[in-house]
């Protein structure tokens, strides 16, 4: 897609909001645009800071981010995480006449309230698990006794990926209900809960660029949410991804589009929400068909790290068109590369619980041409060294003509990264490799 093909000229000054691997990938995609824009980030991380200027404004400082955009003469803001979206960053930018990619607070509610989403799914007949909504402990416990175990207990609000308990026993489910409703474990995010039947199957992440009633489905991917090999241990933000997820056959993708994507986009518009951003639909591929686990209203992390590099398209032009309401014209220009992509997340030992920060990371000086190191929780110390500063530290991504070759390249680089506290899963992509 050339810059000449969009009706309004591409932006020249871009601000990326966020500090993770997703945002580092967005920075790289914008820098790769033929439009050659100036890119800045807030607050960024050590890897982003090596590529573009970063500004220490926190993602929840809405007035600070608007002021930064005005001061730096930003003409397009791409918002990475859910927190600023749900706090109304895009509403505030729009009021200041600054175009932005990402939904306003009304659209961000689709991620910020699981109950709001469940009601929308039910109202529009979109497949999803049976559930009950509770604010009091006693009725929730009574409902648990009527449902099959395992069962899922979810805090309604944003809980940094920790508000979902897939309870294997009734006692575990009862404890989760108590923790959330009586123990205030997730604060106001857990003052209402959803108790949901457990779904079985493989999960897939479907990322959709939405602009009101127009949409573009991005390449399929699969995340690995548990910390341990073989999908064991607690849930994390995501320990690795690959794309395409071939479990989603062309026929299944068509079914997902007809039964889930199109009805979702239409439902959101019918509710009066002018959604312009990424609708990330978490889907369980159950034996009786695909079923919605959740909506997120932003790019996935680490899904973005494998999805964007597979686009043979100017990502900036795509996101700009969505923000400007011009997606229908750009949609036919979106092309996907045949290559396979993988991202192996390197985390700090202890994650997703407490972990050390400040461990020095040494990255090989030269990397194979098809491998990239994406920074997430990294910082620079006084000596100028890169150190760990978060639970998920780096993503090692590779692109190759086969998933096996991509995995081989990524893992060879993971081994060469020197960091005392590094941990990573050894089986990213294994489910698909074993099927081949």
111 binds ligand GLY, rule: CB under 6 A = no
Other Cβ atoms closer than 10 A to 42? 26
Scanning the structure block, which residue is given the tokens 């960024």? 44
Touching ligand GLY, residues 207-226 (CB under 6 A): 223
Euclidean distance between the first and final Cα of the chain, in Å?
Answer: 33
Read off the DSSP letter of residue 317. Answer: H
Touching ligand AMP, residues 157-216 (CB under 6 A): 164, 166, 196, 198-199, 203
240 binds ligand GLY, rule: CB under 6 A = no
Q: Which range in 141-149, 257-265, 293-301, 373-381 contacts ligand GLY by CB under 6 A?
A: 293-301
Choosing from 44, 47, 238, 240, the residue that interacts with ligand GLY (CB under 6 A) is 238
231 binds ligand AMP, rule: CB under 6 A = no
394: partner contacted, choices ligand AMP, ligand GLY, none (Cβ within 5-8 A by kind): none
Choosing from 303, 314, 339, 359, the residue that interacts with ligand GLY (CB under 6 A) is 303
Bridge partners, 216 (sequence order): 209
**Tokens in use for 334?**
């979106």
Neighbour-count burial for 297-331, b at 16+ CB within 10 Å, e otherwise: bbbbbbbbbbbbbbbebbbbbbbbbbbbebbeebb
164: partner contacted, choices ligand AMP, ligand GLY, none (Cβ within 5-8 A by kind): ligand AMP
Q: Provide the minimum distance between the beta carbon of 135 and ligand AMP in the complex, in angstroms, as a whole number.
A: 19
Choosing from 225, 337, 349, 404, the residue that interacts with ligand AMP (CB under 6 A) is 225
296 binds ligand GLY, rule: CB under 6 A = yes
102 binds ligand GLY, rule: CB under 6 A = no
Instruction: Taking the CA atoms of 165, 171, 174 and 175 in sequence, report the sign of the dihedral they define.
Output: negative
The closest alpha carbon to 210, from 304, 277, 121, 268, belongs to 277
CB 306 within 8 A of CB 238: no
185: partner contacted, choices ligand AMP, ligand GLY, none (Cβ within 5-8 A by kind): none
Of all helices (H) and strands (E), which one includes residue 318? helix 315-324
Q: How far is CA 139 from CA 185, 195, 379, in A?
A: 19, 11, 47
Residues that bind ligand GLY (CB under 6 A): 223, 237-238, 296, 300-301, 303
């Amino acid at each position: 897609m050339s810059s000449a093909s969009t009706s309004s000229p591409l932006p020249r000054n871009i601000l990326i909001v966020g500090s993770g691997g997703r945002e580092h990938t967005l920075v790289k995609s914008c820098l790769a645009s033929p439009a050659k824009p100036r890119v800045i980030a807030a607050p960024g991380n050590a890897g982003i800071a090596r590529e573009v200027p970063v500004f220490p404004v926190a993602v929840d400082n809405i007035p600070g981010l608007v002021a930064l955009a005005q001061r730096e003469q930003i003409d397009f803001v791409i918002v990475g995480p859910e927190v600023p979206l749900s706090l109304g960053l895009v509403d505030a930018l729009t009021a200041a006449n600054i175009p932005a990619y990402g939904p306003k607070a009304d659209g961000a509610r689709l991620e910020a309230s699981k109950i709001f989403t469940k009601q929308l799914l039910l109202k529009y007949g979109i497949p999803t698990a049976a559930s009950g909504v509770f604010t009091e402990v006693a009725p929730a416990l009574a409902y648990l006794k009527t449902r099959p175990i395992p069962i899922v207990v979810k805090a309604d609000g944003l809980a940094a990926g920790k508000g979902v308990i897939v309870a294997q026993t009734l006692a575990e489910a009862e404890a989760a209900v108590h923790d959330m409703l009586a123990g205030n474990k997730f604060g106001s995010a857990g003052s209402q809960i959803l108790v949901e039947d457990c779904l079985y199957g493989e999960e897939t992440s479907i990322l959709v660029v939405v602009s009101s009633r127009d949409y573009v489905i991005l390449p399929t991917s699969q995340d690995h949410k548990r910390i341990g090999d073989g999908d064991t241990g607690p849930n994390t933000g995501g320990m690795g991804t690959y794309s395409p997820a071939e479990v989603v056959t062309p026929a299944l993708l068509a079914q997902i589009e007809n039964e889930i994507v199109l009805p979702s986009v239409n439902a959101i518009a019918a509710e009066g929400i002018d959604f312009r951003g990424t609708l990330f639909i978490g889907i369980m591929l159950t034996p009786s068909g695909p079923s919605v686990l959740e909506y997120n209203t932003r790019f996935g992390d680490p899904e973005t790290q494998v999805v964007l590099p597979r686009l043979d398209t100017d990502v900036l032009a795509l996101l700009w068109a969505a923000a400007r309401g011009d997606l229908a014209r750009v949609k036919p220009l979106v092309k996907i590369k045949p290559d396979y992509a993988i991202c192996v997340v390197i985390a700090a030992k202890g994650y997703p619980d407490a972990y050390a920060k400040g461990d020095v990371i040494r990255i090989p000086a030269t990397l194979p041409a098809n491998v990239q190191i994406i920074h997430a929780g990294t910082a620079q110390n006084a000596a100028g060294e890169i150190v760990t500063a978060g639970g998920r530290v780096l993503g090692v991504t590779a692109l190759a003509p086969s998933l096996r070759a991509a995995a081989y390249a990524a893992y060879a680089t993971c081994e060469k990264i020197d960091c005392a506290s590094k941990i990573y899963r050894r089986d990213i992509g294994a489910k698909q490799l074993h099927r081949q």
